[in-house]
Chains A and B, each alone.
Chain A
Amino acid sequence: MRTHAEITSLEDAVADLVHDGDIVALEGFTHLIPVAAGQELIRQRKRDLTLVRMTPDIVYDQLIGAGCARKLIFSWGGNPGVGSLHRFREAIQTGELEIEEHSHAGMANRYVAGASGLPFAVMRGYNGTSLPEHTDTIKPIACPFTGEQLTAVPALGLDVGIIHAQQADRQGNVQLWGQTGVQKETVLGAKRSIVTVEEIVDELVPKPYAVVLPRWVVTRVCEVPGGAKPSYAQDYYDRDNDAYKAWDAISRDKEKFAAWLETL
């Protein structure tokens, strides 16, 4: 019986838990993006991953550019307030990357279904849009009580869920706070999970709007200070907007991107 989350290095956690071909989600909506963990996937040359994320941003651009992904499941891909993700965009335009595209509401519900142990979730959405014509994981379903036509989306079936949090204690209980997106569902909906944290503390002090993930639902905790940079960790550091702006020039140019990859 597992009573504690194991505390290890990020390198060991990624080596032990992420296998080529896995379905892997790295979540964090602008806030607490697990950038260090994503870059560790690149460093260990993971291949053929199905990468899942509502808002693929620069760390997904890096993973795609580095050749880690076979397929991407997502709902909005861009560099917010800056423009395109050029590695992402090129991989789609050339057909190198398979995509499965949803709306945010659809993705959020797919995470909820996974966390709930259900095969699918029901929602009101997508009616009249072009998305169901291109995405097999959007299906109509009739309400068994009223007959109303609704939409079903399947659970994501994650092998690994990866998030970044502010704190964990020594038993591996995790606390994150501020805007927490779909991180709870990412961990609860995955067979295995990795949580990188800003710091490991003796005692977790409850915070407003906190999500607490008890030690026995988390597989690994890794202490990685600054592990969400250039995104932000509330009460630790701010978003580095300049880094997001600077990424545009690197991502746009294949040679610059290759040179950046060498520095990793």
Chain B
Amino acid sequence: MSWEPDEMMSVAAARELRDVTACFVGIGLPSTGANLARRTHSPDLVLVYEAGAVGAKPPRLPLSIGDGMLGETADYIAAVPEIFNYWVQPGRIDVGFLGAAQIDRFANINTTVIGDYDHPKVRLPGAGGAPEIAASCGEVIVIVRQSPRAFVETVDFITSVGHGDGPGSREKLGLIGNGPTKVITDLGILEPDPETCELVLTHVHPGVEADQAREATGWELKVADDLVTTDPPTDEELRELRELVAAR
């Protein structure tokens, strides 16, 4: 089967959730990837949504993070203060799945404003649950389409901290999670360099050249020496993904 770049992105995101117990799910692309994982290789994956559903098993993709089917299929429903204070803050969630409007080379995320805060060019929705998810989940996986508008030299606003201004930043800030470990895009996968924390292109999806990823990045993107091509989506992955999206 052939596939669209967005489908490859969701499949690549889902694959990152093998051997994960609990994943905190943002709405949109992150929700697609997380639900695909649960429907394919990880049926026991615990999906946590910020409106209170813990262990949600939605039969289709929810439009909103508090949809009825999330609560009705959950193992447990927590009140919102409990979600953040008891589940996120102490680091009980292994992986946070987040989107971004802007992301920089240290995987700091902006979902607040484009332009000046007091006189914004574009006002975005804001923080939601993301700052604390980014701070305290064991690791963070960012799912975002790659373009020069999104992958910028400097984010206009740090809504959620990635690796701050480089090595040691997270420790200094007292953030208990490990921060972003992967950024999954429609072109490939970026990972922070273990020494410098700067995002490096480590995977390209089938049919994508490293130069395409470079051109879609607003800083001089480093490419790994041992650049790997992502395995193409299997028929089963595509079938499940399309069923999930069509049922919406």
Contacts and interface: CB of A to CB of B under 8 A. Distances in A.
Interface in A88-133: 88-89, 92-93, 95, 101-105, 108-109, 111-112, 123-131
Given A81-B28, A127-B161, A234-B68, A104 B127 contact: yes
B175 A76 contact: no
Given A75-B127, A102-B127, A148-B174, A128 B169 contact: yes
Contacts of B88: 105
Contacts, number: 169
B125 interface: yes
B118 interface: yes
A19 interface: no
A69 interface: no
B244 interface: no
A31 B174 contact: no
B33 interface: no
B65 interface: yes
A104 B128 contact: yes
A interface, size bucket: 35 or more
A179 B77 contact: yes
B174 A149 contact: yes
Interface in A197-243: 209, 211, 232, 234, 238-239, 241
- Indicate the size class of the contact surface on chain B: 35 or more
B115 to A, nearest CB: 9
A128 B85 contact: no
Q: Please classify the interface of chain B as helix (H, G, I), strand (E, B), loop, or mixed, using the class held by over half of its residues.
A: loop
B116 to A, nearest CB: 11
A134 interface: yes
A76 B128 contact: yes
A129 B158 contact: yes
Interface string B66-104: 111011100001011101110011000000000000000
A179 B70 contact: yes
A182 interface: yes
B112 A130 contact: yes
A171 interface: no
Given A105-B132, A125-B89, A211-B79, 12 more contacts: A93-B122, A103-B130, A103-B132, A112-B81, A123-B85, A124-B89, A127-B135, A128-B170, A130-B112, A180-B52, A181-B66, A234-B72
28 contacts: A29-B80, A30-B67, A75-B126, A77-B126, A78-B125, A78-B126, A80-B27, A80-B63, A92-B123, A103-B132, A104-B128, A104-B129, A105-B84, A105-B132, A108-B80, A111-B81, A123-B89, A124-B174, A128-B135, A128-B173, A129-B160, A130-B157, A178-B77, A179-B52, A179-B53, A181-B52, A232-B68, A234-B72
